[in-house]
Structure 1
Amino acid sequence: MWMRATCLLEFNNLVATPFIFMLRPRSGWQQWIGREQYLLTPSVSAIEFTDPFGNLCQRLMAPAGPFTVNTSFDVDVAEASDSAPGAQFVEVQRLPEETLPFLLPSRFCESDRCTQLAASIVAGCSPGYDQCSAIVDYIRRTIAYTPGSGQQIISACEVNERSEAVCRDLAHLGIACCRALSIPARMVVGYLENLQPMDLHAWFEAFVGGRWYTFDPTQDDGRGGRIAVAYGRDAADVAIYTQFGDPVELLNMNVTVERIAAPAC
């Protein structure tokens, strides 16, 4: 199916400020970008580069005063996330090299401190996909998904001590537990159809059965189209914008996601 996603960011810069944005999705086996629009107001020159995880990043100097970024994308995606109960664990020595960084502890996913927790959660599960599903079920049972409840980024171990959290933090806990079991796991930031309230969203993917699968502790099923924008080890790698220097005021952020008709041939 085809989806249209938009994101509007409005800033007020006290002084000229360097930014790095991560707002452009890229085509891949899970999605195809049919149309995109990326407007900067006032218009400034931008340099695009690809980070170590393959994300498209835009580097620019925003002038003092009001500054707006307005993006829009038409993307062909699946109507639901794939699932594969029983998909097998891939032994570390057989993993593709590009998955290896997602086995290691990272700033917000301290998997080396989650070994006992992960083992207790997956006791009796077949290694691989079923373990990931058990981790997601545990997160849903023990921590309430509460949008807007956490402005400060917290680590997986801190999340596990709380009764509520945002999507980003729940993904951190899932990632840390998967890595503690030697399952590569990575954070994804993007758009999700029918998300309430509508915003940019975070979930995680785990590498089992020879490919990446989507896991989302905030959703009861895999329905709803997803547009992935950025991948990384944790939230530190996938910020939609990074600003340097004096703090900048974000005046407004507005996200929309809707189904659209397929483009005419």
Structure 2
Amino acid sequence: MKSFSIDCELEYDVLQQTLFLFNIAVPPAPGQRVRCETIALEPAAQFDEFCDATGANRLLRVNVEPGHFSIRYLAAVDLDAPAIDPSADRTPLAVLPPDVIPYVLASRYCEAEALFALACDAFGSIAPGYAQVEAVCRWIRDNIAYRVGTSSPVTTARDVLANRAGICRDFAHLAIALCRALNIPARFVTGYTRYEDPPQDFHAVFEAYLGGRWQLFDPTELAPIDSIVRIGTGRDAADVAFATLFGTARLRRLSPLVEPSDNTAQLVRLQTPTSGVLLAA
């Protein structure tokens, strides 16, 4: 078991009254436990919390008046090592659980049908299952450059393939699309993790349904999978944006920080005057 301290702060310039839906709180999930947590808004405002239809994502809803606004989430989390089964086979479509079936279908950012030919050519000769998914991850690392600034919030898996470059979100989308093209259910996962380069940000990885359960993969290899604290789970990034807003606001600063802790139920403040990514002066 590993323990982590999380200190996530987002700052906005709100130009008109705006309703925010935040997906930054750590949800209860197999293998992770929230020991304690707190949410602070500046200026103070009422908010409500609820889970989405899948029950996998915790959403915070707040209505904000014009001006400077920030939300800060602190948590102490215990994380078990994820179970890895390299011998896991692909589960036949005919016996997939009903709640898994949506993750074998194409979605907004993962056009599985458009990548079918590539998936068959590159991975069709590999035994269906864990080995295929690992081969997908290796192929992406070998053929797609990790390069900040080469994609946008509307970049799809097919765009990443054409551009041959992207960031963690793009790597995950491409891996998901290729897995689905191979009839392997796959889903998008966002999380907190720590890495030195690129600058600290939310991380995106994916899970594949193999041998009757979900297994976690990181095609970027930016962080060990046993050090990723899950935030959101969905078909692709459209389901798990860290912030969705209805109104007009500009993100000024993004600072999702995480550090290993000493296994105590204590909140640790990690923010400093220079931490995070300053997006607007």
Give the TM bin, normalised by the shorter chain.
over 0.9
Structure 1 portions without partners, runs of 5+: none
Write the distance in 2 (CA, Å) between the matches of 1:210 and 1:195: 35
Residue 138 of structure 1 is matched in structure 2 by 139
Equivalent positions of 1:18-37 (< 5 A) are 18-37=19-38
Q: Distance in 1 between matches of 2:3 and 2:165?
A: 33
Equivalent-residue separation in structure 1 for 2:213 and 2:76 (angstroms): 25
Change beyond 3 A, Cα 1:221–1:209: farther
Alignment of 1:219-234 (within 5 A): 219=221, 222=224, 224-234=226-236
Give the TM-score, by structure 1 length. Answer: 0.94
- 1:155-212 residue CA offsets vs partner (Å, 9 max, x unmatched): 1111111232010011100000111111110000111233522111001100001111
C-alpha contact 2:12 2:253 (8 A) present in aligned 1: yes
Alignment of 1:91-130 (within 5 A): 91-130=92-131
Cα offsets for 1:61-87 (capped at 9, x unmatched)? 0111011100111111135x4432221
* Partner AA of 2:88 in structure 1: A
Deviation at 1:221, TM superposition (A): 7.5
In structure 2, what is the Cα distance between the partners aligned to 1:108 and 1:241? 17
Deviations 1:113-140 (A, max 9, x none): 1111111221321111111111111100
Amino acid at match of 1:233: R
Shift of residue 222, structure 1, vs aligned partner: 3.9
CA distance in 1, matches of 2:3, 2:16: 40
Deviations 1:24-79 (A, max 9, x none): 11122121111111111111111222112321111110111011100111111135
In the alignment, residue 227 of structure 1 is paired with which amino acid?
Answer: V
Alignment of 1:206-245 (within 5 A): 206-219=208-221, 222=224, 224-245=226-247
The answer for the alignment partner of 2:202 in structure 1 is 200
Match of 1:15 in 2: 16
Q: Hey, what's the Cα distance between the residues in 1 that align with 2:166 and 2:67?
A: 34
Q: How does 1:81-96 map to 2 (within 5 A)?
A: 81-96=82-97
Q: Does 1:161 align with 2:142?
A: no
TM-score (norm 2): 0.88
Residue in structure 1 matched with residue 177 of structure 2 by the alignment: 176
Cα deviation per residue 1:206-256 (whole Å; 9 max; x = unaligned)? 00011111111110774551101001111111101011123x111111121
Partner SS, residue 230 of structure 1: strand
Q: What percent of counterpart residues are identical?
A: 36
Number of corresponding residues: 262
Where 2:247 maps in the other structure, the secondary structure is coil
**How many angstroms apart in 1 are the aligned matches of 2:51 and 2:225?**
30
**Kept after mapping to 1: 8 A contact 2:79/2:226:** no
**Corresponding residue number in structure 2 for 1:62:** 64
Question: 2: distance between equivalents of 1:250 and 1:221?
Answer: 26
CA distance in 2, matches of 1:144, 1:185: 22
Comparing 218-227 with 232-241, greater Cα deviation is found at: 218-227
Q: Distance in 2 between matches of 1:193 and 1:161?
A: 29
For residues 95 and 194 of structure 2, the distance between their equivalents in structure 1, rounded to whole angstroms, comes to: 35
For structure 2, the residue ranges without an aligned partner over 5 or more in a row are: 266-281
8 A contact 2:218–2:225 mirrored in 1? no
AA aligned opposite 1:33: V
CA contact (8 A) 1:2 1:75 kept: yes
Q: Which amino acid aligns with 2:3?
A: W
